[in-house]
Amino acid sequence: MALPLAKRRAAELDSDARAILDEGVAVGAPDISHLSPEQARAALSDVFIPDGEPEPVASVTERKIPADARDIRIRVYDPDPDETRPAVVYFHGGGWVAGSLDTHDGVARSLANEGDCVVVSVDYRKAPEHPFPAAVEDAYLATKWTDDNADELGASEGLAVAGESAGGTLATVVTQMAVAKNVAPPDIDQQVLFYPATDHSFDTPSYEENADGYSLTARSMVWFWNQYLRDSIDGANPYASPLRAPERVLADLPPAALFTCGYDPLRDEQFAYAEALAEAGVRVEHHHYDDMIHDFVNMRRLADPFPGIEAADDARQRAGAALRTAFE
């Protein structure tokens, strides 16, 4: 169950997170809400693609999934190609506008190693060139393809979805779509959700408390939503705002491991989603880091001169443990 509101941000900001924020001020990091989509993509890449060698994974390959009049690029991480393992379909963050296979490569690698599973990271279409529901469609198609082609991937012992921020939203929505589909939906065993956006609304205490100064700002979220949705009415669609799904849909969802942060504008809607899942009878493993900022799991290693956040290791290990437990 979710924590009382008074306990959702009780600790001082983590020193590693503070160091990152201070460095951002020192180098004049731009406000995303003042940038074009192309500039926002470049800015995130400049910070989130670290220098140096990445965490080793035995096999890392890329391929394309055929879709209607297009292809979906995926990157497959396999910790041991000689063994069959469960699969995790992973969706990166970036506000549905930015982010890439490269900006979130580190988390995908850690999930493969910590979860002892094959990770399929998805390069879904981005807004505003491809607004809602394009990313949702790609996320579901990639999950369905992974389920249908598990043997080819060496991953036929279970299926989970995972994602960060906007990618966490896509992961929640994919599980809801799988419940609603009538024709051979993917059989999802677990969802791992890192600080997802769950509601197109800005009217929560956490939006007021964390409006500015903690990496993700309220202005940035308004900008991301405006880029993503075709019209504000899209925000009422459960496939954009999974918190608005009816309880009968939530009741059939797989167990969830949810990761939240105290210094995050999205914190309260994430708690609300945890409560909605629990009330619907879904098992929720809720890990709250009250001294952390949004996207900290992807901040273990950043480009110079930004330092890293050591607590990201703890979250990645907990996510891996949730996946291993789900597949036992």
Catalytic residue annotation: 165, 264, 294
Which CA distances in Å does 27 have to 20, 46, 162, 169, 328? 11, 12, 32, 31, 46
Contact residues for 14 (Cβ-Cβ < 8 A; gap 6+): 289, 291, 292, 293, 296, 309, 311
Token pair belonging to 134: 């394009």
Beta-ladder partners of 288: 260
Q: Where are the beta strands (DSSP E) in the chain?
A: 59-67, 70-78, 87-91, 118-123, 159-164, 190-194, 256-263, 284-293
Nearest to residue 262, comparing CAs of 294, 219, 229? 294
| Cα separation values, 105 from 123, 125, 208, Å | 11, 17, 32
Dist. CA 32–CA 254, nearest whole Å: 34
Tokens, residue 157 = 């012992």
CA distance 149 to 326: 20
Residue whose token pair is 């309880």: 247
Residue type, 170: L
Q: Residues 27, 33, 35, 39: is their CA dihedral positive or negative? A: positive
